[in-house]
């Protein structure tokens, strides 16, 4: 039943405006695509464009293959077998989500460089000199594949594990009675049945890979994200940046479409009336040890080893580090993240309330579209907002100087407000998805009961819905908080002059060969990154067939 | 003055018409049962009364005050109606006392507390004031919901299938309790149900609804004994349909004639006989039917009867007779009609 709309017309208009404003940066980028690039586009097309395409494809393909193997393999092991430390590893496999890829890049650069512990040990053991041997260079395409895979495989792991848990194990067991080995059952029954979930995990990984800026920039790889940055800041050519950004956006949205169609299919695939508890198969001897090692290795690569490297670097560099500055930066970043989280949660909840609970509502359709902001790479959001802020500033200046003869300069560009705006664009979906789901799940009946008791619809929201949604609100606020703490590209592009966050500080220190000093801010970011991982583990513990945790992988 | 009045209300969800020129009035202090099969639009009527739906046509009055007509739509919070939901919708984050006090705004806190205590006492839950809804039993939750709806002294109480969530044993008990409470307070109420027995038990008057319109409104006795049409007649339990010939103001059937009103001679007609309206006696000569099965249902025995060829009836008949009737499968019987439970209607 549709019922009466919850919010008055004014509320709906306001919410619609919010959604349009959130979409502006992307609209700006697309709108500028046709603009004149003064020949730069032709130049780029002739020179680096093919490099961008090749590098992006190789990077995306490599990361996809590596994360699928790692993610599916570990998910299968922890759900189907019993081996030493299985329960610990089951949760530890999520930990790499706490470390952004760019931080892994700093840590492994130090680890594998000529003066780093690995090569030093190698020379000590073999007695070779630096020029006597070949050692792979981490700052390469292969290195980026390694680093990004280490950071991103948990997406595949989480979604696939959930799919394996939801599957009726009867199918796997029947296939065993029909003569399949466990490995064959994995490849011929379990994986095909989990295919929609695996596709979803793979597309998430690909989206993140396409959007990555920090790691590839640090490794000096020429991809679309670094190319956009360079077109704007080195060539000073917004039109060319917008054109590159549009190509990247098209690629990302193609991936999103694949993901959404796979989600549609998953609804049918996951239906299973005969759920049975999985009884893990007890592994013994070397097989058990192998399983433990196989699951521990990705945890080591994606979390433990870089954490140890960063900690030891931080200790070594303790006399070079300006602790007061790191403390001030942490406070700075934390405040910014808290403001952004508050703004984003308020906007998301407001839009949800205004849309009401009807699925056919135009606002709800619009808010689904604006969820694409989360898929938009930070570089694109940054560039799009530069364009929007520039237009808004010249508009404000024209009015102020023309009508009132006041010199106002740039009001928006380079302000903290624009930074918060960027975070709202990027992370609106992180808050809106779970909040809207919670709001719809509460249902209309409490609000209707309240209204028959003489309470207006807005009062009903304050007295009923918000208290009932408090847990979800806190959780999504924490998610947005952590996301802002980690955010690098949009912050780099939009931050006010002389304004730094932990992420930009660590990046600048790392790119100026002061890796040891970058360790402490990086560790602070990783600690913030543990917040969503912790929330996810709570959800994971609750995740049983038919009852999904409130925080999904999608929102991480 | 009526507590609640619908005047030719029409409401559609898109192409699906849920209420069609719906007219009904709940008088002051009256409990009116709105009875109908699922999908007949009875819950929509309740939601329209509460202001949770805005109808396309017609007028709605609460306590004599116009609350809805095209262009006028008083929001639910200003309508003075109490609503008891099918699933109760108790606020899970509030205590029992806070739930009951929820609708008491505007009043001073001392008055609110007094009114809350008064109601909790009325429903016998004073000891549970500080409990949370999930800590109570189903019947207790029902009473909290009732107290919450009654606290602001609504002009009319609306109840949506109020007992459907309770198991059979509890349902009987809660039903009795609630009827006593409502009568003690003297509140006007409109309650919606698909259970004929519940409607007959609870209501001062019963309105039978079908496809968005009222078929008949009458006291329980009248609606059971003088149904206005086939639908109403067959809605209260199983009936047998026997073709009849109308002659000289009587409907003649193979089992005898009953007097009819308003049907012309030679109209094509049927007599609908309730199961207890077939009076059955054992008779080996000139039998009307053969007993095919006899099943004890507690106070009554349900007989399935196969009509003998001379009656011209094809399908089996159902009869309810008192316990102690010595009838067995295979016995032959003669049948007469109890005119109180037999009704003649023109064939459609």
* pLDDT reading at A410 higher than 80: no
Residue A289 has pLDDT above 90, yes or no: yes
CB atoms within 10 A of CB B117: 15
pLDDT band at B225 (very low <50, low <70, confident <90, very high): very high
C-alpha B203/C-alpha B190 separation (Å) is 9
User: Long-range contact list for B309-316, CB < 8 A, 24+ apart?
Assistant: B310/B254, B311/B254, B311/B255, B312/B243, B312/B254, B313/B242, B313/B243, B313/B254, B316/B292
- The answer to whether the Cβ–Cβ distance between B77 and A468 falls below 8 Å is no
3-state helix, strand, coil in chain A (%, to 5): 75, 0, 20
pLDDT at A272 over 50: no
Please tell me what DSSP assigns to residue A131. Answer: G
* Cα distance between residue A501 and residue A100, in whole Å: 15
Identify whether the C-beta of residue B2 lies closer than 8 Å to the C-beta of residue B155.
no
B237 in Cβ contact with B227 (< 8 Å): no
Average pLDDT rounded to a whole number, residues A495-505: 89
- Which residues of chain A make contact with B80, given a CB cutoff of 8 A? 454
Closest Cα in chain B, distance from residue A10 (Å):
17
Find, among A20, A4, A3, the residue nearest to A363 by Cα. Answer: A20
Query: Please, where are the H alpha helices in A81-140?
Result: 86-92, 101-112, 117-126
Q: What is the pLDDT of residues A473-491, one digit of tens each?
A: 888 888 888 889 889 999 9
């990302």: which residue's tokens? A252
pLDDT of residue A421: 93
Q: Extract the tokens encoding B179.
A: 């009827």
Q: Which of A274-288, B183-197, B222-236 has the lowest mean pLDDT?
A: A274-288
Q: Using the beta-carbon criterion (under 8 Å), do A453 and B92 form an inter-chain contact?
A: no
Shortest CB distance from B91 goes to which of A2, A451, A464?
Answer: A464
Which of A285-299, B164-178, B287-301 is predicted with the least confidence, judged by mean pLDDT? B164-178
Q: How far apart are alpha carbons A210 and A376 in whole angstroms?
A: 10
- Give me the residue label for tokens 């990247």: A248
Mutate: best of B60, B76, B147, partner A, most A CBs <10 A? B76
Choice between A463 and A179, residue whose per-residue pLDDT is larger: A463
Report field, pTM of the whole predicted structure over 0.90: no
Query: A1 and B54: CB-CB below 8 Å?
Result: no
| Residue A66, token pair as written in the block | 């590596």
Closest to A253 in 3D by CA, of A211, A284, A281, A288: A211
- The answer on pLDDT for A159 being more than 90 is no
How sure is the predictor about A198, in pLDDT bands with cuts at 50, 70 and 90?
A: confident
pLDDT score for B335: 92
Average pLDDT estimate for A536-545: 54
Q: Say if residue A553's pLDDT is above 50.
A: no
Candidate from A1, A452, A457 with C-beta closest to B50: A452
Q: Which residues of B179-217 are buried (b: 16+ CB within 10 A; e: fewer)?
A: eebbeebebbbbbbbbbbebbbebbbbbbbbbebbbbbb
ipTM at complex level? 0.70
Whether residue A542 is predicted with pLDDT greater than 60 in this model: the reply is no
pLDDT of residue B48: 92
Concatenated DSSP letters of A148-171: HHHHHHHHHHHHHHHHHHHS-HHH
Q: Is B308 helix (H, G, I), strand (E, B) or coil?
A: coil
Please check the confidence at residue A537 and state whether its pLDDT lies above 60. yes
Q: Range with the lowest mean pLDDT among A178-192, A283-297, A500-514, B159-173?
A: A178-192
Q: Region A12-21: what's the mean pLDDT? A: 86
Lowest-confidence pick of A28-42, A217-231, A319-333, B32-46: A28-42
For residue B12, report the phi and psi dihedrals to the nearest 5 degrees: -130, 145
Q: Which residues of A touch B (CB under 8 A)?
A: 1-4, 445-446, 448-457, 463-464, 467-468
Residue bearing the bigger pLDDT, A6 or A36: A36
Give the residue-averaged pLDDT of A75-97: 90
What 3-state DSSP class applies to B114? helix
Taking the CA of residue B198 and the nearest CA in chain A, the distance in Å comes to: 24
Contact A155, A204 (CB under 8 A): yes
Mean pLDDT for B37-44 is 90
Chain B stretch 22-81, residues whose beta carbon is closer than 8 A to a beta carbon of chain A: 44, 47, 50-54, 75-81
Q: How big, in percent rounded to 5, are the helix, strand and coil portions of chain B?
A: 30, 35, 35
Q: Mind listing the pLDDT tens digit for each residue in B145-154?
A: 999 999 989 9
Cβ atoms B302, B238 nearer than 8 A: no
B81–A448: do the CB atoms touch at under 8 Å? no
Q: Which pLDDT score is estimated for B214?
A: 95
The two structure tokens encoding residue A446: 């409490």
Check A445 against B87: CB less than 8 A apart: yes
Residue A547 pLDDT: 34
Q: How confident is the model at residue A194 (pLDDT cuts 50, 70, 90)?
A: confident
Which residues of chain B neighbour A445 with C-beta distances below 8 Å?
85, 87, 89
- The token pair that represents A347 in the structure block: 């906007």
Residue of B53, B54, B152 lying closest to A453 (CB–CB): B152
State how far the Cα of A84 lies from the Cα of A280, in Å rounded to an integer: 12
Predicted pLDDT at A262: 64
User: Hunting for tokens 């780099």 — which residue is that?
Assistant: A492
- Label residue A406 exposed, middle or buried (CB < 10 Å: 0-12, 13-18, 19+): exposed
Tokens of B6: 């619908």
* Sign, CA torsion B257/B262/B265/B268: negative
| Cβ contacts of A449 on chain B, cutoff 8 Å | 83, 85, 89, 91, 148
Least trusted range by pLDDT, from A107-121, A286-300, B53-67, B183-197: A107-121
Closest partner residue to A451 (CB to CB) among B76, B80, B92 is B76
A179 vs B120: which has the higher pLDDT: B120
The answer to whether A355 and A343 have CB atoms below 8 angstroms apart is: no
**What pLDDT shows up at residue A169?**
64
Highest mean pLDDT among A259-268, A304-313, B259-268: A304-313
Rounding to the nearest 10 degrees, give the CA dihedral for residues B195, B197, B202, B206. 70
Q: What is the mean pLDDT of residues A193-210?
A: 84
Rounded CA separation A289/A294 (Å): 9
pLDDT at position A255 is: 82
**Residue B4: which H helix or E strand, with range?**
strand B2-13
Which residues lie closer than 8 Å to A452 by C-beta, 6 or more apart?
B50, B51, B52, B76, B77, B79, B81, B82, B83, B103, B149, B154, B158
Tokens of A286: 């070397």
Do the chains contact at B105 and A455, CB–CB below 8 Å?
A: yes
Q: Above 70 in pLDDT, residue A318?
A: yes
Provide, rounded to the nearest whole percent, the portion of chain A with pLDDT above 90: 21
In whole angstroms, give the CA distance from residue A21 to residue A35.
Answer: 22
Helix axes B138-150, B109-122, angle to 10 degrees: 140
Q: Which residue of B has its CA nearest to A458?
A: B77
A3/B91 Cβ within 8 A: no
Residue A87 CB neighbours (<10 A): 9
- Among A176-185, A396-405, B51-60, whose mean pLDDT is lowest? A176-185
* Residues A348-378 pLDDT 10s: 998 888 887 666 677 777 777 776 777 788 8
Residue A555 pLDDT class (50, 70, 90 cuts):
very low
Using a 10 angstrom Cβ sphere, with 0-12 exposed, 13-18 middle and 19 or more buried, the burial of residue A348 is buried
Residue A277 has what pLDDT? 55
pLDDT of residue A549: 35
**Nearest residue of B to residue A469, measured between CA atoms:** B93
Tell me what the mean pLDDT of segment B219-235 comes to.
94
Q: How far apart are CA A165 and CA A274, in angstroms?
A: 13
| pLDDT of residue B327 exceeding 70 | yes
Mean pLDDT across B1-15: 91
Lookup: tokens for A38 = 């003064």
Q: What does the pLDDT average to over B24-33?
A: 95
The closest alpha carbon to A97, from A483, A548, A518, belongs to: A483
CB contact under 8 A, A454 and B83: no
% of chain B beyond a pLDDT of 70: 100
Measured CA to CA, the distance from residue B53 to residue B45 in angstroms comes to 9
Q: B76 to chain A nearest CA, in Å? A: 5
Mean pLDDT confidence for A447-463: 86
pLDDT at residue A182 is higher than 90: no
Looking at residue A179, its pLDDT comes to: 61
**Cβ pair A453:B85 closer than 8 A:** no
Residue A355's pLDDT is 80
Asked if the Cβ–Cβ distance from A452 to B148 is below 8 Å, we say no
More confident residue, A146 or B1: A146
Distance, in Å, from the CA atom of B205 to the CA atom of B223, rounded to the nearest integer, reads 9
Judged by phi (left if over 0) then psi (alpha if -120 to 50, else beta), residue A409 lies in left
Indicate the pLDDT class of residue A174, thresholds 50, 70 and 90.
low
Chain B residues touching A468 at Cβ < 8 A: 92-93
């Amino acid at each position: 039943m549709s019922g009466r709309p919850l919010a008055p017309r004014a509320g709906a208009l306001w919410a619609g405006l919010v959604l349009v404003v959130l979409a502006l940066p992307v609209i700006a980028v697309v709108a500028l695509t046709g603009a004149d690039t003064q020949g730069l586009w032709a130049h780029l097309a002739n020179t680096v464009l093919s490099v961008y395409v090749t590098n992006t494809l190789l990077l995306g393909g490599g990361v996809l293959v590596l994360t699928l193997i790692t993610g599916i393999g570990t998910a299968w092991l922890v759900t189907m077998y019993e081996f030493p430390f299985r329960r610990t590893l089951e949760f530890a496999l999520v930990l790499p989500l706490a470390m952004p890829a760019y931080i892994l890049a700093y840590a492994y650069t130090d680890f594998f460089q000529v003066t780093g512990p690995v090569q030093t040990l190698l020379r000590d053991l073999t007695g070779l000199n630096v020029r006597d041997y070949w050692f792979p260079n981490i700052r390469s395409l292969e290195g980026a594949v390694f680093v990004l895979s280490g950071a991103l495989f948990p997406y595949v792991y989480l979604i696939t594990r959930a799919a394996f848990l939801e599957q009726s194990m009867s199918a796997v067991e029947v296939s065993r009675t029909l003569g399949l080995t466990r490995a064959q059952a994995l490849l011929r029954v379990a994986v095909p049945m989990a295919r929609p979930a695996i596709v979803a995990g793979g597309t998430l990984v690909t989206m993140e890979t396409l959007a990555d800026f920090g790691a590839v920039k640090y490794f000096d790889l020429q991809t679309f994200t670094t190319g956009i940055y360079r077109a704007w800041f080195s060539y000073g050519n917004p039109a060319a940046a917008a054109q590159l950004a549009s190509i990247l956006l098209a690629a990302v949205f193609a991936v999103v479409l694949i993901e959404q169609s796979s989600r549609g299919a998953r609804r049918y695939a996951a239906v299973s009336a005969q759920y049975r508890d999985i009884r893990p198969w007890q592994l013994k001897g070397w097989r058990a040890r192998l399983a433990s090692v196989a699951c521990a290795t990705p945890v080591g690569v994606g979390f433990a080893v870089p954490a140890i490297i960063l900690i030891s670097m931080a200790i070594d560099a303790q006399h070079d580090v300006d602790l007061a500055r790191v403390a001030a930066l942490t406070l700075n970043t934390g405040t910014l993240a808290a403001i952004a989280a508050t703004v984003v949660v308020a906007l998301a909840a407001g839009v949800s309330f205004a849309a009401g609970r009807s699925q056919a509502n135009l606002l709800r359709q619009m808010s689904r579209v604006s969820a694409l902001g989360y898929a938009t790479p930070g570089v694109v959001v940054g560039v799009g907002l530069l364009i929007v802020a520039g237009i808004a500033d010249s508009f404000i200046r024209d009015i102020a100087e023309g009508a009132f003869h006041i010199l106002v300069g740039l009001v928006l560009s380079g302000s903290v407000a624009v930074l918060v705006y960027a975070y709202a664009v990027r992370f609106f979906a992180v808050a809106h998805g779970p909040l809207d789901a919670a709001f719809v799940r509460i249902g209309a009946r409490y609000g209707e009961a309240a209204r028959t008791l003489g309470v207006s619809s807005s009062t009903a929201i304050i007295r009923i819905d918000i208290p009932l949604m408090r847990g979800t609100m806190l959780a999504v606020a924490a998610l947005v908080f952590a996301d802002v703490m980690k955010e690098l590209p949009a912050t780099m592009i939009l931050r006010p002059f002389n304004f730094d966050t932990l992420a930009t500080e660590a990046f600048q220190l790392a790119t100026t060969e002061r890796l040891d000093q970058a360790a402490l801010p990086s560790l602070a970011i990783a600690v913030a990154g543990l917040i969503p991982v912790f929330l996810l583990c709570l959800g994971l513990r609750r995740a049983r067939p038919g009852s999904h945790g409130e925080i999904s992988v999608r929102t991480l | 003055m009526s507590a609640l009045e619908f005047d030719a209300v029409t409401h559609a969800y898109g192409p699906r018409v849920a209420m069609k020129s719906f007219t009904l009035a709940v008088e002051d202090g009256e409990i009116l049962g709105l009875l109908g099969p699922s999908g007949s639009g009875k819950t929509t009527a309740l939601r329209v009364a509460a202001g949770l739906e805005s109808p396309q046509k017609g007028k709605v009055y609460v306590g004599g005050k116009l609350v809805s007509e095209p262009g006028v739509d008083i929001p639910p919070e200003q309508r003075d109606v109490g609503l008891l939901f099918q699933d109760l919708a108790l606020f899970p984050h509030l205590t029992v006392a806070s739930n009951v006090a929820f609708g008491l705004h505007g009043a001073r806190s001392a008055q609110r507390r007094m009114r809350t205590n008064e109601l909790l006492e009325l429903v016998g839950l004073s000891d549970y004031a500080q409990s949370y809804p999930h800590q109570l039993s189903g019947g207790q939750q029902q009473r909290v919901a009732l107290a919450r709806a009654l606290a602001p002294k609504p002009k009319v109480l609306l109840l949506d299938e109020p007992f459907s969530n309770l198991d059979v044993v509890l349902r009987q008990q809660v039903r009795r309790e609630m009827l006593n409470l409502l009568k003690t307070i003297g509140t006007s109420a409109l309650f919606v149900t698909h259970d004929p027995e519940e409607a007959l038990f609870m209501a001062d008057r019963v309105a039978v609804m079908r496809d968005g319109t009222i078929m008949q409104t009458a006291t329980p006795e009248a609606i059971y004994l003088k149904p206005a049409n086939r639908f109403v007649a067959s809605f209260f339990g199983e009936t047998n349909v026997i073709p009849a010939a109308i002659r000289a103001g009587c409907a003649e059937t193979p089992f005898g004639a009953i007097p009819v009103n308003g049907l012309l001679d030679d109209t094509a007609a049927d007599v609908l006989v309730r199961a207890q309206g077939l009076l059955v006696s054992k008779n080996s000569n000139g039998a009307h039917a053969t007993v095919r099965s006899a099943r004890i249902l507690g106070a009554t025995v349900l007989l399935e009867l196969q009509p003998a060829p001379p009656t011209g009836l094809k399908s089996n008949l159902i009869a309810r007779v008192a316990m102690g009737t010595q009838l067995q499968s295979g016995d032959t019987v003669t049948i007469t009609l109890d005119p109180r439970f037999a009704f003649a209607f023109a064939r459609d």
